[in-house]
Amino acid sequence: MVPIVGATSLLAQASSDTRSIPVDSPAFSLVVHGGSGTITRATVTPELEAQYRSAIERALLAGHAVLHAGGSSTDAVVAAIRVFEDDPLFNAGKGAVFTSEGKNELDASIMDGKTHMAGAVSGVTTAKNPIVVARAVMDKSKHVMLASAGADAFVKAQKLEQVDPSYFFTQHRWDQLQSAQKREMVELDFDGKTENSYAQAPQSWEIDHKYGTVGAVALDRDGNLAAGTSTGGLTNKLYGRVGDSPVIGAGTYADNATVAISCTGTGEFFMRGLVAYDVAARMKYSKLSVSDAVDQTIQTELTDKNGRGGLIALDAKGNIKFGFNTEGMYRGYIQNDGKPVAMVYRD
Amino acid sequence: MVPIVGATSLLAQASSDTRSIPVDSPAFSLVVHGGSGTITRATVTPELEAQYRSAIERALLAGHAVLHAGGSSTDAVVAAIRVFEDDPLFNAGKGAVFTSEGKNELDASIMDGKTHMAGAVSGVTTAKNPIVVARAVMDKSKHVMLASAGADAFVKAQKLEQVDPSYFFTQHRWDQLQSAQKREMVELDFDGKTENSYAQAPQSWEIDHKYGTVGAVALDRDGNLAAGTSTGGLTNKLYGRVGDSPVIGAGTYADNATVAISCTGTGEFFMRGLVAYDVAARMKYSKLSVSDAVDQTIQTELTDKNGRGGLIALDAKGNIKFGFNTEGMYRGYIQNDGKPVAMVYRD
């Protein structure tokens, strides 16, 4: 019996969805997200909701096929994230948001819970699938993180699939950029304000303009965990801003002894709070369950500090936890039985 | 009475230098490092040792002047690191190592333990003092990390002190690059090897070719902690490699409730182990002293995994701890009495 705590957030603790779901043994499991934010029945049309649910299910099935065949959690994470990166609905790969200069600069990271090896790219512009590049950094280089032009040079040297930057163009992201620039978004505003700047910003800009960061965490038949995250970052981003998604310990973390985590939200809060690693540390040093650890981290590192977002967590026994303090989160899970479960709203 | 544990490493636990040093109250303190590595009496000439000791003392006195006058720990960290950045002895600012393309790409980060705000730059090429840029990212932007060309654009926009990239040239670093390229250093070698690659590399290359990362941690009269780190990264580095120094939680961390940390060593190990934050997490969740937390982190995240390097730690009560598993570390501390203490070797 694997307990699953679904759709919980501290702001909605009373409506937590706590179920026990029987699974075959040995358990394997895959959990994904496609971003959190102001996702309510009032803001999402039924047609759009159906598209998101379909994409989540396809990502889950792609990862499940790997796990079912005895593949590694790392391979499953890559397979699931590739589905999101190839889908223009999400802010990752095709469909990524535009920088202030009208470009797409992509970030991704991956970590293997068995070896603690990790790979990440920031500001890559020519790789069709940034998660594949992050994985190559982990497997084929001595480094953890490659950035900007250097990351593109690595893509070429490793003969990974390259695309013309125009591949990433989507009209709706372009329109978002025009709208953001018209409003002179706070990205342009280096004004010395601190944490509250996010709270003072136009309603939900900070999260809605990076809607759709994607991630996956998996547990394979051998009991190994892995985690990965991919994003286009913030609409209208300036100055080579690096967010949490490519930072190991902030947006992504995996450790067989504790948990695999992928985050989405206002990246700076996740970076300062080391949110992904903080969940693992609470499990490792305070001996908390994954559910309690996630609740505490979301409370202290996000909610108390006015950060917004969420994360997916999966421990080595197959316990799944969703934690977020936003109205909703595109997310889902799949276990041995191969039935994908997609969720959108808090309830 | 403030206990100070100096010059310790797990490899040299027996020779730990544990002293109690009386200090005035309220205590304030500054601890600095200028890199760790194969630093022994056989490899360092008396002349060179004297130069290092002098630089460490100057950095300590610069920071002490700030603290003595009632300035903030953040200001003291910046003042101390600027001394190192301006000194060609260290791999930070002037004196930074060269990339594979013969350029100097600089990384720095800073964190304020009171607010948990943080700033970092990676791959900046035109700023005289990268630590000043990191501080401006913290104070003047909404972001935590800016990279590459974007970081240079920020330097210009903020009117921070710019220099021609030729300012960073030093003959000894240039010679190091030539020597590294002649030996076809492993930086060029994307061969899929994993952790042991470092161990298999030419003796000590990994640490000796980033000798001289610098850092500082401070406690001010108001009881606020801060930490900062600055580096030129690895000699002959390729592909926009980002190390641990600009990554909050990996190379730098500060939190008034626990500890301020600055690291130096084989950066990838510090990134995967979140070494700086791991010390804080052990104090926060396992209720360890700073001394025990540092020993455990160095043991599990570095020594057990064949990583090499060290860190400086300072807790909110003024307890100082040096932790490293290398032969030596350029380091020192200063307290209320204003007497700088510089150390080089393990004993």
State ipTM.
0.90
Check B143 against A241: CB less than 8 A apart. yes
Partner residues linked to B121 by β-bridges:
B108, B146
The pairing of beta strand B17-21 with beta strand B145-147: unpaired
Higher pLDDT, A266 or B285: B285
Q: What residues of chain B lie within 8 A of the CB of A148, using their CB?
A: 123, 147-149, 240
Residue B39 has what pLDDT?
85
Half-sphere CA count of A246, side-chain side, radius 13 A: 40
In whole angstroms, give the CA distance from residue B230 to residue B252. Answer: 10
| Residues of B involved in catalysis | 213
Element (H, E) at A95: none
Given a contact cutoff of 8 angstroms between Cβ atoms, the answer to whether A172 and A273 are in contact is: no
**pLDDT confidence bin for A229, thresholds 50/70/90:** very high
Class of residue A276 by CB neighbours under 10 A (exposed 0-12, middle 13-18, buried 19+): buried
Q: Each residue of A1-42: pLDDT tens digit?
A: 344 554 344 343 322 344 444 455 668 999 999 998 888 888
Given a contact cutoff of 8 angstroms between Cβ atoms, the answer to whether B55 and B61 are in contact is: no
Q: Each residue of A162-220: pLDDT tens digit?
A: 999 999 999 999 998 888 888 755 443 333 333 333 333 444 444 455 568 999 999 99
Q: Each residue of B256-280: pLDDT tens digit?
A: 999 999 999 989 999 999 999 999 9
Local structure of B242: helix, strand or coil: strand
Residue B238 has what pLDDT?
84
Partner residues linked to B253 by β-bridges:
B261
CB contact set of A295 (below 8 Å; sequence gap of 6+): A8, A10, A13, A323
Examine the pLDDT at A274 and tell me if it is beyond 80. Answer: yes
Percentage with pLDDT > 70 across chain B: 84
| Residues of A involved in catalysis | 213
Q: What residues of chain A lie within 8 A of the CB of B240, using their CB?
A: 146-151, 153
Backbone angles phi, psi at A249, to 5 degrees: 95, -25
Min distance B21 CA to chain A CA atoms (Å): 31
Q: What residues of chain A lie within 8 A of the CB of B122, using their CB?
A: 147, 242
Residue B203 has what pLDDT?
41
Min distance A110 CA to chain B CA atoms (Å): 11
Q: 3-state DSSP: chain B helix, strand, coil percent, rounded to 5?
A: 35, 25, 35
Min distance B147 CA to chain A CA atoms (Å): 5
Min distance A15 CA to chain B CA atoms (Å): 29
Mean pLDDT, rounded, for B209-219: 85
Check B190 against A140: CB less than 8 A apart. yes
Q: Please name the member of B194, B238, B281 whose beta carbon is closest to the beta carbon of A285.
A: B281
CATH classification code of A2-98+111-117+210-345: 3.60.20.30
In whole angstroms, give the CA distance from residue A89 to residue A211. Answer: 10
In whole angstroms, give the CA distance from residue B261 to residue B109. Answer: 12
Residue of A101, A103, A117, A241 for testing the chain B interface, max B β-carbons within 10 Å: A241
- The structure's pTM equals 0.91
Q: Please name the member of B241, B248, B282 whose beta carbon is closest to the beta carbon of A272.
A: B248
Residue of B121, B133, B143, B197 for testing the chain A interface, max A β-carbons within 10 Å: B143
Of the candidate ranges A208-217, A331-340, B75-84, the one whose mean pLDDT is the lowest? A208-217
Q: Please name the member of B151, B154, B240 whose beta carbon is closest to the beta carbon of A146.
A: B240
